[in-house]
Chain A
């Protein structure tokens, strides 16, 4: 009985999954990666249609790449955050990791190191801070919320300390090219963001590690009893999140050609919002990289559209809040329907 009702509850999802797994090639992968993102994908398309009708220039190709470019910082950090949230964790420190690692890279380049070393400094520092988060939660058993909240504060404080509160600017071209170069007439940032999402998608859905991430978020104790190295995997997701934040820092710093002590303030909340809008459950076990991509694009498109329509900036924030609320509401209603069916 329960099985039949359950299957009937979400026929669309079931079909989408079966349809997706049958197809091969780019189209098949695209279809699979967007599985389960139905409502949010529809919402994004609807938003695009509305904006195309009311906003001049919205449909232009350059505008679309602009949306992705503007979403790159949030998007790349959101890839790492998706891993963390699927394990039922949270990483509040990404904003301050972006600021600190960007600042460290900027200062070391001021000190004369070449651009690629500056990039490595940001990535390495991000990875290290992420590893600290992971180590503290898994081996000392401190709640992720608290650990990353503390690191948020430490990171922001360190950023101010090492920069003496000053903006650092003027970097070698071997660094700034990240934010300015184009490949096939499209900004490198677009390619980079899509590449990070593609890697995130493959790791999450195709690797042993990815399967373990879902299992831990779904039921930690069951995963442990099934022989999954729960600690190692939980540790790694925070390290990944830190690494992604480091890459976000490279993107932000190179685009602005400067490192601000107050950079990326509150970024973590936008990142978490994008992941949650994309259908990843804060309770863990459910979510997808495709969903996060759509969530990031939705926020980016919204910002872009409201700007095109000359909406005052404070309304932008309000509308963002409404979208987050609606996304979580849809998730909660789905959940309730499922638990009734089960």
Chain B
């Protein structure tokens, strides 16, 4: 590594309520493969979006090959030779390989498309990513995910990308496909193309990267050549112990088993998942993105009916195929994404909170106005929703207050099992500690809580026990006494030999 290809300096980005990037510096050499690691929410994706021009940073500058980049739009970044391959691929499934490669600039002669020229050029591009045998006319929909990933790379090469960003490129790939991808990355490095490689899988980072940068809480906490890192030191750097004091301790008594799932499956995302939770217990579900955590919770709650396995509530087998059957069984799910799955923006706070208990505040189908308001008032006080009025539109609340509203809606159903999916994502520290208080109160009141969180300190601070998922399967269970972040990460990212073999067999 001799020349510097990319410099990002003092990149700062704020969203309402969140300081997403705090003066981030990043330097990538020509022909260097730079790994970026960090917990979910550390700021990796935001940083990449700034680089791609999808977000405009509030402060800082970007220099590409010595030229300052006025990153304001995706087109500017593309023109500067920066190509980003997101987890959700941007190919058009109904179009052919060649059409996808030249999307927006098909070779043409006058007003007519030049199909022969397109084929020739497509062949050349495909050869560079090891897809010599791929038919340029094949519809993308017929290709395996690994091939599509390589196609994205070829597309970037067509745009003369000199800096290629790959966001979790292997999350849906089989191990043989991963090796092909790595070979291509090595070739690109030879050609002098720089690669920014974002991954949760530390073993991949060690295999393919020349250097690794660790992000935490929106800042870079370390950037070194790969041979100066060890798995332990990387994990140590990723982990954040600052939040420990946030978790209040509270005496809780564990009662009988409230929820038990046996061999629960939602093919192909959840496979043979078994665990149980007691009254008063908080069970943490850990795993990387795509490990099947959200899917597991949604299956238990009846959002997506299970394809196999059993759900027992207080020892009794339950058929749960819809949300209302879940609610009838005393199971409530609090979704991960407030904006799209939780809050009804146009409705009032009151309306949002009583949505799941309309039948309880009505008689013969008519909503009792008095009970409607008193229910809302009680819930608002219990969960400390800060707003000028219960009639205020919920969409105008801050993230923390929206989360309280969604939690209030769930708790209004008086559930015995509460499934929380990333309950504090994207809210500020103050609101977080309030949410923690509520969760502990739910458990102290005899509720059984299953909590998915990508923030390890949160899991460690809250959970009595942690079940780790990988590739839709349970790969480990750790009690709070022996749990630490290194151990969870180890299970979540590398698993054991036989587990690795199992996930390899997965079809994408």
- Residues of A in contact with B (beta carbons under 8 Å apart): 2-4, 6-7, 14, 17-18, 21, 206-212, 214-215, 217-219, 221-229, 281, 284-286, 338, 341-342
Q: Do the beta carbons of B346 and A6 come within 8 Å of each other?
A: no
Which residue of chain A has its CB nearest to the CB of B363? A208
Q: Do the beta carbons of B346 and A206 come within 8 Å of each other?
A: no
18 contacts between A and B (CB under 8 A): A2-B397, A2-B398, A3-B388, A3-B392, A6-B392, A14-B388, A14-B391, A18-B391, A21-B369, A208-B366, A211-B351, A219-B343, A219-B344, A222-B341, A226-B323, A284-B346, A338-B393, A342-B396
Contacts of A218 in B (CB 8 A): 344-347
Q: How far is the CB of B225 from chain A (nearest CB, A)?
A: 44
Q: Do the beta carbons of A3 and B396 come within 8 Å of each other?
A: yes
Contacts of B413 in A (CB 8 A): 227
Q: Do the beta carbons of B346 and A286 come within 8 Å of each other?
A: yes
Q: Do the beta carbons of B323 and A207 come within 8 Å of each other?
A: no
Given contacts A6-B396, A342-B396, 6 further A-B contacts (CB under 8 A): A215-B351, A218-B347, A219-B346, A222-B344, A223-B344, A225-B303
Contacts of A221 in B (CB 8 A): 340-341
- B interface SS class: mixed
Q: Do the beta carbons of A208 and B342 come within 8 Å of each other?
A: no
Task: Flag whether B465 is at the interface (Cβ < 8 A).
Answer: no
Contacts of B377 in A (CB 8 A): none
Contacts of B386 in A (CB 8 A): 3
Q: Do the beta carbons of A285 and B344 come within 8 Å of each other?
A: yes
CA distance A65 to B105 in the complex (A): 63
Q: How far is the CB of A269 from chain B (nearest CB, A)?
A: 25
Q: Which of B2-10, B197-205, B352-360 contacts A (4 or more CB under 8 A)?
A: B352-360
Which residue of chain B has its CB nearest to the CB of A284? B346
Candidates B344, B356, B366, B397; contact of A3 at CB < 8 Å: B397
Contacts of A17 in B (CB 8 A): 391
Task: Flag whether B73 is at the interface (Cβ < 8 A).
Answer: no
Contacts of A209 in B (CB 8 A): 365
Contacts of B16 in A (CB 8 A): 2
Q: Do the beta carbons of B367 and A206 come within 8 Å of each other?
A: yes
Contacts of A217 in B (CB 8 A): 346
Interface residues in B318-355 (C-beta closer than 8 Å to A): 323-324, 326-327, 333, 335, 340-347, 351, 355
Contacts of B397 in A (CB 8 A): 2-3
Contacts of B340 in A (CB 8 A): 219, 221-222
Q: How far is the CB of A234 from chain B (nearest CB, A)?
A: 15
Q: Do the beta carbons of A225 and B392 come within 8 Å of each other?
A: no
CA distance A235 to B340 in the complex (A): 23
Contacts of A18 in B (CB 8 A): 389, 391
Task: Flag whether B231 is at the interface (Cβ < 8 A).
Answer: no
Q: Do the beta carbons of B347 and A215 come within 8 Å of each other?
A: yes
Q: How far is the CB of B92 from chain A (nearest CB, A)?
A: 21
Candidates B335, B345, B398; contact of A285 at CB < 8 Å: B345
Task: Flag whether B179 is at the interface (Cβ < 8 A).
Answer: no
Task: Flag whether B362 is at the interface (Cβ < 8 A).
Answer: yes
Task: Flag whether B54 is at the interface (Cβ < 8 A).
Answer: no
Contacts of B341 in A (CB 8 A): 219, 221-222, 225
Q: How far is the CB of B10 from chain A (nearest CB, A)?
A: 26
- Residues of B in contact with A (beta carbons under 8 Å apart): 16, 303, 323-324, 326-327, 333, 335, 340-347, 351, 355-356, 358-359, 362, 365-367, 369, 386-389, 391-393, 395-398, 401, 409, 413
Most B CB contacts (10 A, CB to CB) among A211, A227, A286, A341 go to A227
Contacts of A211 in B (CB 8 A): 351, 355, 358, 367
Q: How far is the CB of A252 from chain B (nearest CB, A)?
A: 31
Q: Do the beta carbons of B323 and A227 come within 8 Å of each other?
A: yes
Q: How far is the CB of B343 from chain A (nearest CB, A)?
A: 6
Q: Do the beta carbons of B395 and A342 come within 8 Å of each other?
A: yes
Q: How far is the CB of A329 from chain B (nearest CB, A)?
A: 19
Q: How far is the CB of A124 from chain B (nearest CB, A)?
A: 23
Most B CB contacts (10 A, CB to CB) among A21, A209, A218, A338 go to A218
Contacts of A4 in B (CB 8 A): 388
Q: Do the beta carbons of B351 and A214 come within 8 Å of each other?
A: yes
Q: Do the beta carbons of B358 and A208 come within 8 Å of each other?
A: yes
Contacts of A228 in B (CB 8 A): 355
CA distance A284 to B324 in the complex (A): 23
Which residue of chain A has its CB nearest to the CB of B332? A227
Contacts of B355 in A (CB 8 A): 211, 215, 223, 226-228
Q: Do the beta carbons of A226 and B409 come within 8 Å of each other?
A: yes
CA distance A341 to B366 in the complex (A): 34
CA distance A218 to B355 in the complex (A): 12
CA distance A209 to B362 in the complex (A): 11
CA distance A341 to B388 in the complex (A): 15
Q: Do the beta carbons of A7 and B323 come within 8 Å of each other?
A: no
Which residue of chain A has its CB nearest to the CB of B395? A342
Contacts of B327 in A (CB 8 A): 227
CA distance A3 to B400 in the complex (A): 12
Q: Do the beta carbons of A208 and B323 come within 8 Å of each other?
A: no
Q: How far is the CB of A9 from chain B (nearest CB, A)?
A: 9
Which 3 pairs from chain A and chain B are nearest by CB?
Answer: A285-B346, A218-B344, A6-B396
Contacts of A225 in B (CB 8 A): 303, 323, 333, 335, 341-342
Contacts of A229 in B (CB 8 A): 324
CA distance A228 to B323 in the complex (A): 8
Q: How far is the CB of A282 from chain B (nearest CB, A)?
A: 13
Q: Do the beta carbons of B396 and A207 come within 8 Å of each other?
A: no
Candidates B333, B343, B359, B393; contact of A6 at CB < 8 Å: B393
Which residue of chain B has its CB nearest to the CB of A5? B396
Contacts of B367 in A (CB 8 A): 206-208, 210-211
Which residue of chain A has its CB nearest to the CB of B396? A6
Q: How far is the CB of B408 from chain A (nearest CB, A)?
A: 12
Contacts of A224 in B (CB 8 A): 303, 323
CA distance A227 to B328 in the complex (A): 10
CA distance A206 to B344 in the complex (A): 19
Q: How far is the CB of B334 from chain A (nearest CB, A)?
A: 9
CA distance A29 to B311 in the complex (A): 47
Q: Do the beta carbons of A7 and B389 come within 8 Å of each other?
A: yes
